[in-house]
Structure 1
Amino acid sequence: MTAAPAVDIRGAQRRTLTVLSAGQALGGLSNGVALGVGALLVEQVTGDPALAGLAATMLTLGGALLAVPLARLADRRGRRVSLTTGALIALAGALLLALGGTLGAAWIVLPGFSVLGASTAINLQSRFAATDLSEPRHRGRDLSLVVWMTTLGVIIGPNLIPAGDALGTAMELPHLVGAYLISAAALVVAATLLWTGLRPDPLLTARGLVEASDRVIPALRLLQHPRALAAVVAIACAQATMVGIMALTPVHLEHDGHGLAMIGLTMSAHTAGMYALAPVFGWLTDRIGARWVAVGGAAMLAASVGTALALESLLAPVPLALLGLGWSAATVAGSTIVAGAVPADLRPALQGRSDLVMGLSGAAAGALAGPVLGVVGYAGLNLATLPVIAAVAVAAIIATRPAGGSREPVA
């Protein structure tokens, strides 16, 4: 098999980044709307504020459980088929949420969030798809560019909540249901774009550059790749911290007397922090190394806890923005390590497992956040994340320990 000319690969990578970036923006819009009112919808259909955290729990759990099947589908059929399939599954989830909210049926709403979790799975897989054709020295940049494009959607999405609610009311739908119609529309466009635009398939193209006789595909044993394992732990701990605090912030604000507009502003600040500076963190990862970017992310997560304790709820956008920034730095740095930690043929399997662990960690944090909030309050919930934040920094240092004279062998 003859490798394609370098210019063709560069062109294919540019097209891949363009399509993935547009898909991320639409997926971010869908998730921004869904998460912005997710806790409130669960509280509305269950009548129990302590269950509100199940929205984020089920969303992240669904994303986690779908990560490995979608990664396997990518391994067999390529990124185009995998990402489009995930978008269609997420669309079904948005429609289930609209139906469950209309009927006031928790037994439909909670599984609906799990199915919608496919949107989280494809957003995560997209960041790795961006590295399939990357040069190693630009891996952090390309990954972070696709992550950054989510910013457009997640900033706009939560602020569409009042308009979506008004649309639903005009259609004689219950409170909050209209938001999920907007989420569904964004997913329709995303699925269409991924199916028609993601050609050539980046993963299949990357594999086509390797002579078949040179390809060896051993079974992936994560314990044999300690740096990759440590990077997965750092990503998972950052995710647990972010989801645990973020999931219950809308409920905290509502109980403090704030309305949908304030909740939407706070969630926009949070999601902007998650994505807006991702290219900066990607550039820093390529320049100074993943270790320092991830440790800086842990510091920002700790600063989020400190400001949440010090400031009034009216200033909630500040700690939530810091929470997003810390998550972004740790996730971009950790994902860059994961993307280059194993040979190309093992990457989909490793990436799927990384996303699985990341999702399960977030789901566990979301499930625990409600009871913790009920016992120790919002301040106690924030304080409870400090040991997890410390684990982010420790795991990042382990993941980037020098070996064989290399300053940072996987970054």
Structure 2
Amino acid sequence: MKKRAHSLEMDFVNSHEKQKMLYKRTLLIVSISQIFGGAGLAAGVTVGALLAQQMLGTDAFSGLPASLFTLGSAGAALVVGRLSQRFGRRIGLASGFFTGGLGAIGVVIAAVTNNLILLFASLLIYGAGTATNLQARYAGTDLANSKQRAKAISIAMVSTTFGAVAGPNLVGPMGKFAVSIGVPSLAGPFILSATAFILAGIFLFIMLNPDPLLVAKMIESNKAKQVDVKQSSPVESMKNNRGIAVGATTMVLTQIVMVAIMTMTPVHMEHHGHGLNEVGIVIAFHIGSMYLPSLITGILVDKIGRTAMSIASGATLLLAGVIAASAPSDSMVLLVVALSLLGLGWNFGLISGTAQIVDSTDSSTRAKTQGTVDVLIALSGASGGALSGMVVANSSYATLALAGGILSLVLIPVVIWSRKSKKEPEQGLQM
């Protein structure tokens, strides 16, 4: 079986036409899987804080679910990255989605039995689906050149929109379905998460063959045999390390700000008389803004540069924080605007940061490095989720939103510093 798979991948090494076909096919497969993954992610995010609030009986720890499943996604990101590096994207991504699906099933069982220990453990495992959904964006870049990478990332991400927007809007119907089968209504969305993650895993396992990362490795290995390839100079290595550092910083900061404000918005809305359907609408706009603009963002990142779009991310997140902090508690319109800008700022940061990571690595280390960076992203999200509940409990939602917006401004000096000794990535590495 391994020999046959190796032979299949070797067919693509010497044919540029086949490589282009595989690149397009991979983007299509990843995009379809992202529809399922987006639904699984969004449904759980929408009601996680409310479920914890209901089971714990306090607001102080309502940010704990976001903290737990982002903490779980940290470990999963590392494992999925290592599995992908060794066995290819197909095995790594499918394993991650299957694990996330099992975690979602555990959350449902915990809600039925009112078991807090099982709930916390299951949320950690559920985080594997979150990590895998995020790492799937890398698969489309394996066979892309430097001028296609941001666009490839964006095509995968924009597909997530369909599932991500549907997920929150299915909160009400899934809650009714859950009650009809004897399950608490807030656990209903996790039934959807389990189904969506498992379907995404099955689809990738069957369809992502030949594996794009394994083909990319073979292409680079073949080039190395045909040409006397020089080792990277110390200056080039330093530039690559700097690119990884800047890309990681951009994604970490945007993740902290986004998770912190997003996590406490449903609780803030519930306290001021908004129902579950209204919460679903606001989160749907937020998650739609996280993914839907991706195609345009990808083109902009490739055309005007990683640096400019990273700065735009910081400015957009600041505006989101200011509007969220100043919005009247009964204003659905301003909350929708604030959360939409929050999602858009995250989108700018994630795509520009991801492109910098891909620019600064090659296929021999790429998946491993990507997994390590995603660990940092997940840990930052866990910190943001954990601290958000405490900040709101001891101060206010407005304080949290404003502090998040101000924190995002750190992005601007970071990316300006990177420009002093590094040219724009678009002029850098080629596949």
TM-score by length of 1: 0.95
1:287 corresponds to which residue? 303
2:177 corresponds to which residue? 167
Correspondence 1:355 to 2:374: yes
Aligned residues: 409
Match for 2:314: what amino acid?
A: A
2:242 corresponds to which residue? 226
1:254 corresponds to which residue? 270
Q: Is the 8 A contact 1:337 1:410 kept in 2?
A: no
1:105 corresponds to which residue? 115
Q: Is the 8 A contact 2:293 2:344 kept in 1?
A: yes
Cα 1:205–1:270 change in 2 (3 A) is same
1:241 corresponds to which residue? 257
Correspondence 1:337 to 2:322: no
Deviation at 1:65, TM superposition (A): 1.3
Q: Is the 8 A contact 1:401 1:408 kept in 2?
A: no
The 10-residue stretch of structure 1 (401-410 or 23-32) with the greater mean CA deviation from structure 2:
401-410
For 2:429 and 2:407, locate their aligned partners in 1 and report how far apart those are by CA, in whole Å: 23
- What is the root-mean-square deviation in Å for CA atoms of aligned residues? 2.2
For 1:263 and 1:288, locate their aligned partners in 2 and report how far apart those are by CA, in whole Å: 36
2:146 corresponds to which residue? 136
Q: Is the 8 A contact 2:310 2:348 kept in 1?
A: yes
1:295-314 correspondence runs (5 A): 295-313=311-329, 314=331
Deviation at 1:175, TM superposition (A): 2.6
Correspondence 1:274 to 2:284: no
Residue 325 of structure 1, aligned match among 344, 350, 358: 344
1:91 corresponds to which residue? 101
Structure 2: where are the runs of 5+ without partners? 1-9
Structure 1: where are the runs of 5+ without partners? none
Deviation at 1:186, TM superposition (A): 1.1
Correspondence 1:207 to 2:178: no
Deviation at 1:212, TM superposition (A): 5.8
Residues 240-273 of structure 1: CA deviation (Å, up to 9, x unaligned): 0000100111111001111101100010010011
Q: Is the 8 A contact 1:230 1:398 kept in 2?
A: no
TM-score by length of 2: 0.90
Q: Is the 8 A contact 1:26 1:189 kept in 2?
A: yes
For 1:250 and 1:380, locate their aligned partners in 2 and report how far apart those are by CA, in whole Å: 16
Residue 125 of structure 2, aligned match among 101, 104, 115: 115
SS in 1 for 2:396: helix
1:386 corresponds to which residue? 405
For 1:222 and 1:110, locate their aligned partners in 2 and report how far apart those are by CA, in whole Å: 41
For 1:379 and 1:36, locate their aligned partners in 2 and report how far apart those are by CA, in whole Å: 20
Deviation at 1:409, TM superposition (A): 4.5
For 1:128 and 1:150, locate their aligned partners in 2 and report how far apart those are by CA, in whole Å: 14
Q: Is the 8 A contact 2:320 2:339 kept in 1?
A: yes
Q: Is the 8 A contact 1:293 1:330 kept in 2?
A: yes
Cα 1:255–1:69 change in 2 (3 A) is same
1:39 corresponds to which residue? 49
For 2:322 and 2:109, locate their aligned partners in 1 and report how far apart those are by CA, in whole Å: 40
Structure 1 runs of 4+ aligned residues shifted over 4 Å read 215-218, 221-224, 404-411
Q: Is the 8 A contact 1:234 1:334 kept in 2?
A: yes
Correspondence 1:372 to 2:403: no
2:62 corresponds to which residue? 52
Match for 2:340: what amino acid?
A: A
Cα 1:278–1:240 change in 2 (3 A) is same
Q: Is the 8 A contact 1:334 1:396 kept in 2?
A: no
Match for 2:377: what amino acid?
A: M
Correspondence 1:155 to 2:165: yes
For 1:284 and 1:245, locate their aligned partners in 2 and report how far apart those are by CA, in whole Å: 26
Q: Is the 8 A contact 2:147 2:426 kept in 1?
A: no
Residue 365 of structure 2, aligned match among 333, 346, 349: 346
Q: Is the 8 A contact 2:146 2:429 kept in 1?
A: no
